[in-house]
Structure 1
Amino acid sequence: MRIVYIEDNDELRETIGSLMEGPGRSVTCCANAEEALQLDAQAPFDLVVTDVSLPGQSGTELAQSLLKTAPQRWIVLCTGYDLGHYPAQWGPHVRTLLKPFEIEDLEDLLGQIETQRSSTTLQ
């Protein structure tokens, strides 16, 4: 699974990015949404994990932009604020992860997404 992780905090980006790596996963880290969009245009990522508060285009704007062209896209919005049911209206594969989160919570979410993606691929 190809993952792009967008986070403007250098330390968090490096730490969380490396912690998401694992068997069957490759992680590309970006400091902003614009960089992620450029890379995604070359070869779409399977999963987009993004901070909501970013310089320039926000994580929610990035998500909405990607979902316009690929509504079945898997997206995880990381935020310090409860977004309620709002992101779920964007599509069946949009999730939120409240900050600060434990790495186990992120790992559980990634595992759930991997399971759902593989069961969809098998059908």
Structure 2
Amino acid sequence: MRIVYIEDNDELRETIGCLMEGPGRSITSCASAEDALLLDAQAPFDLVVSDVSLPGQSGTDLAQALLKQSPQRWIVLCSGYDLGHYPAQWGPNVRTLLKPFEIEELEALLSQIEAQRANASLQ
């Protein structure tokens, strides 16, 4: 599964990016939504994990732009505040993760998404 992780905090981007690595996962990290869009245009990622508060284009704007192109995209928005039910209205594969989160929470979410993607490809 190809994952792009967007986080403007250098230390978090490096740490969380490394922690997301695992069998069958390829992680690309970048500091802005604009960079992520350029990379995604070259070869769409299977999963986009993005901080909400980014310089320039926000993570929510990034999510909406990607979902316009492909409503079935898998997106995880990470935020320090509860986004409520709002992101779920954007599509069936949009999830949120409240910061600060434990790595086990992130890993459980990634495993859940991997399982759902595997089930969908069998159908």
- Output the TM-score relative to the length of structure 1: 1.00
Question: Helix, strand or coil for the counterpart of 2:66?
Answer: helix
Q: What corresponds to 2:38 in structure 1?
A: 38
Aligned partner letter, 2:91: G
Which letter does structure 2 place at the counterpart of 1:85? H
Tell me the residue number matched to 1:69. Answer: 69
Other-structure match for 2:88: 88
* Structure 1 residue 87, shift from structure 2 partner: 0.1
Aligned to 1:26: 26
Structure 1 segment 43-62 matched on structure 2, within 5 A: 43-62=43-62
Deviation for aligned residue 1:72? 0.1
CA shift at 1:43, angstroms? 0.1
Deviations 1:47-72 (A, max 9, x none): 00000000000000000000001000
Report the count of equivalent residues.
123
Q: Deviations over 1:62-104 (max 9, x none)?
A: 0000000100000000000101000000000000000000000
In structure 2, the residue matched to 1:103 is 103
State the Cα RMSD in Å. 0.2
- List runs of 5+ in structure 2 lacking aligned partners: none
Q: Which residue of 2 aligns with 1:8?
A: 8
Structure 1 residue 9, shift from structure 2 partner = 0.1
Which aligned runs of 4 or more in structure 1 are off by greater than 4 angstroms?
A: none
**Distance in 2, Cα, partners of 1:45 & 1:122:** 20
Identity of aligned residues (%): 83
